Amino acid sequence: GESVGLHLPTLSVQEGDNSIINCAYSNSASDYFIWYKQESGKGPQFIIDIRSNMDKRQGQRVTVLLNKTVKHLSLQIAATQPGDSAVYFCAERNTGNQFYFGTGTSLTVIP
C-alpha cells in the first residue's frame, strides 16, 4: 500500500504487505529529516533519520528514501505488522535548526 502523505492522510494495508508512506517537504535548504511514529495516547517515537548527503538509509524493516530534486521523502515498511498501526510524521530541520512536522499519515494494518 502507498500514500501520498499530505494529500491522502490514511493508508490501510494487509498484514505482511509492504507499506510506503510519502512526505513532501517545503524547504530546499532543509538538510536533516526524521520519521516519527505516534501511537494513540503516546508521544512521537523516533524511527529513522536521513541527512541530505544521502539518498537512502535502511533500518530494521524500514527504509527511508530522499529525493532532493523534488523535495520528497518516503518511508518504506517491510512486512507490515499490526503493531505498525500508528500515525507517521516526517519532520524536516530548517535553516533555524528546528524541526517542523508534516501533516502525518495514519497507517492501519488489517490482520
Partner 1 sequence: DTEVTQTPKHLVMGMTNKKSLKCEQHMGHRAMYWYKQKAKKPPELMFVYSYEKLSINESVPSRFSPECPNSSLLNLHLHALQPEDSALYLCASSQDPAGAYEQYFGPGTRLTVT
Cα(43)–Cα(59) distance, rounded to whole angstroms? 21
x-or-dash pattern for partner 1, window 30-69, by CB under 8 A? --x-x-x----xxxxxx--x--------------------
Nearer to partner 1, 5 or 20 (CB): 5
**Are the CB atoms for 87 and 5 separated by under 8 Å?**
no
Cα(78)–Cα(62) distance, rounded to whole angstroms? 6
Nearer to partner 1, 1 or 99 (CB): 99
Residues of span 80-109 touching partner 1 by CB under 8 A: 89, 93, 96-104
- Selection from 61, 54, 66, 56 nearest residue 90 by Cα: 66
Residues engaged in binding partner 1 (CB under 8 A) = 32, 34, 36, 41-46, 49, 89, 93, 96-104
